[in-house]
Amino acid sequence: MDGMNAMDAPLAGVAMHPLRQIADRRGAVLHMLRADAPWFSGFGEVYFSEVALGAIKAWKRHLRMTQYFAVPVGRIRLVLWDDRPDSTTRGATQVIELGRPESYMLVIVPPRLWYGFTAIGSGPALLSNCANMAHDPAESERMELHEAADRIPYRWEA
């Protein structure tokens, strides 16, 4: 796997918090985010991104939005790249694998980090994002995979 190990060198501003799973024979209750959590910065919208096995959803960044990611169904590989001029981790890449059951966590992605993700494992995944502001296309940027090949030091597995 390319990039840094998520536990050894997180990017500046990225945080990870284990999430509670309350399971019984009927299924599970999966916690994600509470308004009284010390890391919660406000509510804008919640959306879900379905990720087909083998699909790559990359690259995107938000200029003002903080995102709170969790994966309640399946597993994903989330890749973050820092090109923020004022960041102590500028130029670094962080790779985080998250999803149930063993890596159910909240990943907080601050503004201005490039990110992408792909489903890993045996089937599709569902990423939930509780963003701190409503979506505004004017505050986000995209970079196609072919454009990023010479810029972002991460190569998606085939």
Which tens digits make up the pLDDT trace of 112-145?
A: 999 999 999 899 999 999 999 999 999 999 999 9
Is the per-residue pLDDT at 6 higher than 50? no
Q: Is residue 97 part of a domain?
A: yes
Q: Is residue 35 part of a domain?
A: no
Residue that wins the pLDDT comparison between 9 and 44? 44
Alpha helix (H) residue ranges in the chain: 145-148
The pLDDT value given to residue 9: 66
Q: Is residue 80 part of a domain?
A: yes
Counting beta carbons within 10 angstroms of the beta carbon of residue 38, is it exposed (0 to 12), middle (13 to 18) or buried (19 or more)? Answer: exposed
**What CATH number is associated with residue 110?**
2.60.120.10
The pLDDT value given to residue 158: 53
Q: Is residue 29 part of a domain?
A: no
Digit-coded pLDDT (tens) for 90-119: 999 999 999 998 999 999 999 999 999 999
Q: Is residue 88 part of a domain?
A: yes
Which residues are CB-contacts of 30 (< 8 A; sequence separation ≥ 6)?
19, 20, 21, 22, 70, 72, 100, 104
Q: Is residue 32 part of a domain?
A: no
In whole angstroms, what is the distance from residue 155 CA to residue 144 CA? 13
What tokens does 89 get? 């981790």
In whole angstroms, what is the distance from residue 73 CA to residue 51 CA? 10
Residue numbers of the domain that contains 98: 4-23+44-148
Q: Is residue 10 part of a domain?
A: yes
* Structural domains of the chain, count: 1
Is the per-residue pLDDT at 4 higher than 50? no
Q: Is residue 48 part of a domain?
A: yes
